[in-house]
Amino acid sequence: MNINIPEKLKKYVKLSQDGSVIDVFKCPVPGCSYTTRLGPGAVRMHVLIKGDPMSETRYCTEHEAYLKAHESELSLDTVRELASFPYRSISYKKE
């Protein structure tokens, strides 16, 4: 069964092969290879931190441009919406 991610949010995810779950969340900035299973909030924080000129060691002009152009799209509501879909999370094996 494929999950039905809204078109505007597809750029933030990579689905599993069968399309039933979000495999990883990804950064939508062209050329950035950041992916995570920590959840959609981690992608949001990645873009915010990389787009902040005050963060000299992590700053990236492409992320700042993306943030300015899509600021309303990177809201907590978007994070909540993405988190409502089934996704693979990091799991720890207890030994």
User: How many domains are contained in the chain?
Assistant: 1
Q: What percent of the chain has pLDDT over 90?
A: 78
Specify the pLDDT at position 64: 96
Query: What average pLDDT does the segment 44-66 reach?
Result: 94
Query: What average pLDDT does the segment 39-61 reach?
Result: 94
* Domain containing residue 55: 7-83
Q: Is residue 1 part of a domain?
A: no
Q: Is residue 75 part of a domain?
A: yes
pTM: 0.86
CB 58 within 8 A of CB 49: yes
